A and B are shown apart, each in its own frame.
Chain A
């Protein structure tokens, strides 16, 4: 079964990079340009992982995590951001993993694979 990843980032180029990187490894990738669009996508689809930018206009990454978790969403989330304070926010908002920008494609693939694996382990137990 191919794992599905939802990329949430307002920057088109970053979405492209993450998407291509993941697709080359065989993931199925969807994109959302902000928190609201992501919530809409998650309402009628299921994913194995959310790759989330913390700093976005509109609904910020941290707010998205709170809203999503409060609504019962349990898909693992990898937060990635360039700002240190946003990393802190991500930790406070209980993202499952974090990735600092700029990132290595290898690191991205590692953290995505690990996080999905851990989530599946805990589910199967």
Chain B
């Protein structure tokens, strides 16, 4: 049982803090005690106690009891009345805390009704303490009965003033988020200084200048809310208290205590007025902010709807630029990066008075750099790059000081929208936030449009491919159909013509083979696409495969093909598929070689891999075309009668990659193209 739970330890600490605060402020308050050693015109502990119990919970009451007892005992109050005063303070604090909890009081006091609740609490709550306290005084015989009403009144107003001052002060401090802003500090200091000066001069010499106080207090309350209200009223109250104590000013009455009560009344009036102004002003600001927030939400919702209604990326950028002016800034420009050093102006919009031609000229005058279009954040710059400086220079005649807000955007190509926005600390945060929200929506719309465009492009390629495939399949079919009809006509002819018949049949056979090859390519393509093309690897000799392919192509084309072999060419591979690759490469080489020039087919066995090289002496393949021809549906300068599906090389590449290998292109020394196929020996797990 020796250890306390953390929450219990914490609440003990809070109780101790409350006790300490009550003790210290209580001693200060008792210094002011005039009517009676135990009764003071300003009793801050009353406010601290009510604030602590209403904000921290009623269970903090022992702090109030201990602090009040200690403060009273420390000035020599006998134990029994001291205990009585402590009880008075504690019961009053419990009542006040309970009252504010029941009233759902908000300590930040941003509403007028919270100010009215504090006033109500300051009037009602001290009645409890004053009743018990003066009772204790009477019972203990510490006062003569003649002064009891006066003591009650002093106790009541002292505690009331404590509640009225401390509760808003603590609330304001709790709600305060200090920001280091030199101008604000200077402004606050100036107001308080002026208020102090005017009050001192008014109370000590020229009372008439007190007419300056209401505007000053209003200034403080409106600009600094509850903090300003409490601080300015506090300054006035302190100065008035000091002046009255020194016998100066209009609050001096024959009895000192009466003077004090008079000052209290004055101070309370100032404070309540200031707090009402502050609360009303906060309420108005809150409503304005709410309206602005609703307005913004509506704007963003509308923006999102408009942006996502477009399916074209340029349209989205145009829409974004249009909606930005004049909502965010006086001028907006959208650009997209089209190439390594190329930007394109997509859209430009300006508010009234902005010379768009001037802006356009400024934008077109820059070097082709793309750096200032890159980056990932929404940033506000003040003429960061030469580009932005020109833009600003173009805007200057028409506009107040501006900065450039830069919105990086995605899509199929990076884009950027730049907006000339008002430049000032007030505008900055709000505009940045709105710009980021807009950017996110535009980005999403751009991504969607890009996805749609690429889906369309893929469909278009498929569509074109179907057209090509239909044409390529129909061509051999057309000739076979025609050949068959011709054969019938020949058979029906009066005289047989065997030589012509033979030509027709031979052509029909060749065309059928062509048709078969095309259909096999299409089947390969669909198997590869479906991931269903399975190799059948077996141990074999790549040189044998190469010779077989050379025989096939040589017999079809009457081209001289030289096969040379070096090293160990035994490995594990799919012989049928690699022969298909070799035949395809040899056929390509034949097509792109002038008649009469031989083609070399080299097979080389290295420790890790096998090379199969097809070396022709044709006109070669430009380096820029080499990656492209390996893609599907691509052909390099097809010759008459040799147009195909554009699938051959892409299927070769897929087959070689299924072996774990790759296809490379090189120039043949002396002219021509060398296509090299690398097949790793360990392409398949043994």
Contact = CB atoms under 8 A, between A and B. Distances in A.
Given A83-B467, A83-B471, A105-B489, A16 B640 contact: no
Contacts of B476: 13
Interface string B526-548: 00000000000000000000000
A55 B470 CA distance: 12
A57 interface: yes
Contacts of B643: 10, 55, 57
Contact of B475 (A11, A20, A21): A11
A24 interface: yes
Interface stretch (B120-128, B273-281, B502-510, B600-608): B502-510
B486 A105 contact: yes
Interface stretch (A42-50, A67-75, A96-104, A113-121): A96-104
Contacts of A16: 479, 483, 503-504, 507
B504 A20 contact: yes
A93 B640 CA distance: 22
Interface residues of B, number: 30
A20 B500 contact: yes
Contact of B485 (A14, A33, A84, A104): A104
Contacts, number: 82
A56 interface: yes
A82 B641 contact: no
A14 B475 contact: yes
Contact of A17 (B474, B479, B638, B642): B479
* Residue of A12, A18, A20 with most partner-chain B CB within 10 A: A20
A10 B467 CA distance: 18
A21 B482 CA distance: 8
Given A13-B511, A17-B482, A17-B486, A56 B640 contact: yes
B481 interface: yes
A102 B481 contact: yes
Interface in A11-45: 11-14, 16-18, 20-21, 24, 33-34
B496 to A, nearest CB: 14
Nearest to B510: A13
B471 A55 contact: yes
A82 B474 CA distance: 6
Interface string B352-381: 000000000000000000000000000000
A20 B505 CA distance: 13
A102 B515 CA distance: 14
Contact of B486 (A10, A21, A34): A21
A88 B493 CA distance: 38
B503 to A, nearest CB: 7
A110 interface: no
Interface size class of A (residues with CB under 8 A): 20 to 34
Nearest to B639: A57
A10 B477 CA distance: 15
A82 B482 contact: no
Contacts of B485: 21, 104-105
A24 B641 contact: no
Contact of A10 (B480, B493, B511, B641): B641
Given A20-B500, A101-B474, A85 B467 contact: yes
Contacts of A21: 482, 485-486, 489
Given A24-B489, A82-B475, A83-B470, A18 B641 contact: no
Contact of A57 (B482, B483, B486, B640): B640
Interface string B435-450: 0000000000000000
A18 B481 CA distance: 11
* Residue of B479, B480, B489, B500 with most partner-chain A CB within 10 A: B479
A103 B161 CA distance: 110
Contact of B641 (A33, A81, A102, A103): A33
Contacts of B489: 21, 24, 105
A102 B482 contact: yes
A60 to B, nearest CB: 11
Nearest to B473: A82
B79 interface: no
Contact of A34 (B477, B504, B507, B640): B640
B475 A17 contact: no
Contacts of A103: 478, 481-482
Interface in B390-425: none
A108 to B, nearest CB: 8
* Residue of A81, A84, A105 with most partner-chain B CB within 10 A: A105
* Residue of B485, B500, B503 with most partner-chain A CB within 10 A: B485
Given A55-B471, A82-B470, A82-B471, A11 B482 contact: no
Given A14-B475, A102-B474, A58 B640 contact: yes
B568 to A, nearest CB: 43
Nearest to A10: B640
A103 to B, nearest CB: 7
Nearest to A84: B467
Contacts of B467: 83-85
B610 to A, nearest CB: 35
A55 B298 CA distance: 56
Nearest to B489: A24
A96 to B, nearest CB: 21
Given A55-B471, A82-B470, A82-B474, A33 B479 contact: no
* Residue of A13, A86, A102 with most partner-chain B CB within 10 A: A13
A70 B474 CA distance: 31
B82 to A, nearest CB: 107
B477 A102 contact: yes
Contacts of A11: 475, 479, 641
A49 to B, nearest CB: 18
Contacts of A34: 640
B640 A33 contact: yes
A73 to B, nearest CB: 21
A85 to B, nearest CB: 7
B486 A13 contact: no
B507 A13 contact: yes
A36 to B, nearest CB: 10
B639 A102 contact: no
B518 to A, nearest CB: 13
A84 B471 CA distance: 9
A24 B510 CA distance: 23
A13 B476 CA distance: 8
A56 B511 CA distance: 18
Nearest to B467: A83
Interface of A: 10-14, 16-18, 20-21, 24, 33-34, 55-58, 81-86, 101-105
> What are the 6 closest A-B residue pairs judged by CB atoms, nearest first?
A17-B482, A13-B479, A82-B474, A10-B640, A102-B478, A101-B478
13 contacts: A10-B641, A13-B479, A13-B510, A14-B479, A17-B486, A20-B500, A33-B641, A55-B643, A56-B640, A82-B471, A101-B478, A103-B482, A105-B489
Given A13-B510, A16-B504, A20-B486, 12 more contacts: A10-B640, A16-B507, A17-B478, A18-B482, A20-B500, A21-B486, A24-B489, A82-B474, A101-B478, A102-B474, A102-B481, A105-B486
Interface of B: 467, 470-471, 474-483, 485-486, 489, 493, 500, 503-504, 507, 510-511, 637-643
